Amino acid sequence: MKLIKLSIIALVISFASCQNKPGAVSKDALKTEIDSVSYAIGMDVGNSVSSNFENINNDLFIAGYMNVLDSAEVLIDKDEAANIVQGYFQKNREKIMKRQQEIAAKKAEKAFGHIKTEGEEFLKKNVENPDVKTTDSGLQYIVLKEGNGEKPTTADRVKVHYHGTLIDGTVFDSSVDRGTPTDFGVTQVIKGWTEGLQLMNEGAKYKFFIPQELAYGARQSGPNIKPFSMLIFEVELLEILDKK
């Protein structure tokens, strides 16, 4: 919030000082240190505005500045103004992040598109197995053993044993191999796990075939899980901890 306030102050200085005829100065105008500092701040703000603001209404900006300076009646109160600015920057950050994710996904598609295709073909063939069930999301599973306990919810924490492989059989993680069960919140894992766990009763053991979009998608996870990897897990739900 401090940075936002500093940016607003700098913008006020820049726009207010240049509102008559922006840019209509020569180097002779930089006579004192404060003259040079003022101009440098204006340059810095100009660069910041051009890279962070798609549009800005100069007239309303100056009006807001002058209303405060003249102690006039402002159109919105101080708290509302702060919320408006925070909301704008939050939306801007989300927009930038989404754009970056889209660019990263396109790059990953070029480099790892074959892995995505292999996973899709595997899942398409896998449904021919009569033991395989498919949910609306595309998650596939086989019931290896049914349980008799309760089903977990998204509010619960569970204790499980699992064995995770890629479609070529590469083991990337296994509590079974380590000999120690693990526990975590139902929503603290990939989407395929969160959905799959809620299908199981305590004591059950399922085999999950998780499409890449329910796993890590275009992201790499560790040395073995490449972007767009489809994952296979054998999961045993040992216990629901602190049932809500």
Q: What pLDDT, on a 0 to 100 scale, did the predictor assign at position 196?
A: 98
Please give the structure tokens belonging to residue 130. Answer: 């009569």
Please write down the long-range contacts of 61-68, taking CB distance under 8 Å and 24 or more positions apart: 61/11, 61/12, 61/15, 62/15, 62/16, 62/19, 65/12, 65/15, 65/16, 66/16
Number of residues assigned to the chain? 244
What is the tens place of the pLDDT at every residue in 191-206? 999 999 999 999 999 9
What is the tens place of the pLDDT at every residue in 143-200? 999 999 999 999 999 999 999 999 999 999 999 999 999 999 999 999 999 999 999 9
- Mean pLDDT of the region 13-27: 57
Q: What pLDDT, on a 0 to 100 scale, did the predictor assign at position 52?
A: 67
Q: How far apart are CA 194 and CA 175, in angstroms?
A: 18
Where in the sequence of the chain do the CATH 3.10.50.40 domains occur? 119-241
CB 13 within 8 A of CB 38: yes
Q: How far apart are CA 165 and CA 151, in angstroms?
A: 25
**CATH entry, 119-241, from 3.30.750.200, 3.10.50.40, 3.20.20.70, 3.40.50.2300:** 3.10.50.40
Q: What pLDDT, on a 0 to 100 scale, did the predictor assign at position 103?
A: 84
**CA pseudo-torsion sign 20, 26, 31, 35:** positive
Rounded percentage of the chain residues whose pLDDT exceeds 90? 52
Closest CA to 143 of 212, 211, 199: 199
Place of tokens 């004192």: 32
Q: How far apart are CA 3 and CA 176, in angstroms?
A: 49
Q: What pLDDT, on a 0 to 100 scale, did the predictor assign at position 2?
A: 45
Rounded percentage of the chain residues whose pLDDT exceeds 70? 85
CB 114 within 8 A of CB 204: no
Whether pTM exceeds 0.75 = no
- Mean pLDDT of the region 237-244: 85
Active site residues: 162, 172-173, 190, 216, 233
Q: What pLDDT, on a 0 to 100 scale, did the predictor assign at position 244?
A: 58
For the stretch 54-84, what's the b/e string if a residue is b when 16 or more beta carbons lie within 10 angstroms of its beta carbon? Answer: eeeeeeebeebbeeeeeeeeeeeeeeeeeee
What is the tens place of the pLDDT at every residue in 32-41? 999 888 888 8
